[in-house]
Amino acid sequence: MLKLRIITALVLLAIFLPAFFADSPEPLAWLTLVLIAAGAWEWGRLMGLGMARSLGLGLVCVMLCLGSWKLFELPLHATPNVWACAGALWVLVGAWMLRGGLAAWSSVHIAIKLIGGTLALWLCWLAIFQAKRVGINYMLSVFVLVWIADIAAYFAGRALGRRKLAPSLSPSKSWEGVWGGTCAVWILALAWVWADQMALFDSPSIYSLLYAHGWVYFLVSITFLTAMSVVGDLVESMVKRTAGVKDSSQLLPGHGGVLDRVDALLPTLPLAMMLSQSLV
């Protein structure tokens, strides 16, 4: 299994790295559009739709992204209402889902679930598109925040985990893991701010933008983004539990599905846009 995971990761890196560092955002936008379409297909399957309707949901998501392409070629500060609404929805809906648990999610009408999942994937794609337009350093800083939070939480949880975070949703997660991940992100953020000051990158990182507003804003914002990455992970775990599956699909050998890889990014990217929109 580990060998398969590594091979899949290397193939994805070979495909995405050139687009990631390309001068134009279009190559990355097209590649991520494929992933977002796959994620929408997985969402349809998790909601109990058949193959044809799930493919149709993927097509709807693609058309939504393409239809908004020109709008999100605008500068980040020109679309403040979009990210403010997206951030508020993620906070409110995420809190409601985690508080209500499996019973609350099961009571939601399937049409609302389908619309909500499609909108979340669409907003994630738009956030990637705009983050790339801000700059490689900025976009990379948001992605690495999620990756470091997840990796550090895993190792901290393994070493120190005692109190379960959400045993009915994700038995392996612990409060110690969450705080371990948060501390790792704090260290990462401070190191990145220093690196931004020492080097001439193409754009400021999200950490430098937040740091410019003072220590309190910096620490609270970093903690908030880290916490919301955990919320994204738990929300997807809840959806999979309700559907009775371990992975969202087997599209990525050794890794599960697309949603399994992007769940923490779904809330974090739009919220990063929300916090950054008046600063870029």
Q: What is the mean pLDDT of residues 64-88?
A: 76
- How far apart CA 153 and CA 160 sit, in angstroms, is 10
Torsions phi, psi for 172 (to 5 deg): -80, -15
With tokens 């990145």, the residue in question is 192
Answer yes or no: is pLDDT of 19 > 80.
yes
Quote the longest CA-to-CA distance of the chain.
Answer: 53
Residues 6+ apart with CB under 8 A from 41: 54, 55, 57, 58, 249
In whole angstroms, give the CA distance from residue 89 to residue 62: 22
Least confident of 35-39, 80-84, 190-194, 260-264: 80-84
Q: What is the pLDDT of residue 225?
A: 96
Average pLDDT over residues 200-218: 91
- The pLDDT tens digits for 78-95 are 566 788 889 899 999 988
Q: What is the pTM of this model?
A: 0.92
Residue 125 C-beta-side C-alpha neighbours within 13 Å:
31
Within 13 Å of residue 233, how many CA atoms lie on the same side as its CB?
22
The tens digit of pLDDT for each residue in 224-235 reads 999 999 999 999
Sign for the CA dihedral angle at 165, 168, 169, 172 comes to positive
Report pLDDT for 83: 86
Note the pLDDT of residue 174: 87
Tell me how far apart the alpha carbons of residues 182 and 185 are, in angstroms, rounded to a whole number: 5
SS (H, E, C) the chain: CHHHHHHHHHHHHHHHHHHHCCCCCHHHHHHHHHHHHHHHHHHHHHCCCCHHHHHHHHHHHHHHHHHCCCHHHCCHHHCHHHHHHHHHHHHHHHHHHHHHHHHHHHCCCHHHHHHHHHHHHHHHHHHHHHHHHHCHHHHHHHHHHHHHHHHHHHHHHHHHCCCEEECCCEEEEEHHHHHHHHHHHHHHHHHHHHHHHHCCCCCCCHHHHHHCCCHHHHHHHHHHHHHHHHHHHHHHHHHHHHHCCCCCCCCECCCECHHHHHCCHHHHHHHHHHHHCCCC
**For 132, phi and psi rounded to 5 degrees?**
-65, -35
Predicted confidence band of residue 279 (pLDDT cuts 50, 70, 90) = low
pLDDT at 1 over 70: no
Alpha carbons 10 and 61: distance in angstroms, whole number: 27
Q: Which two tokens stand for residue 240?
A: 């999979």
pLDDT of res. 67: 87
Q: Which amino acid belongs to residue 78?
A: A
Percent of the chain exceeding pLDDT 90 equals: 56
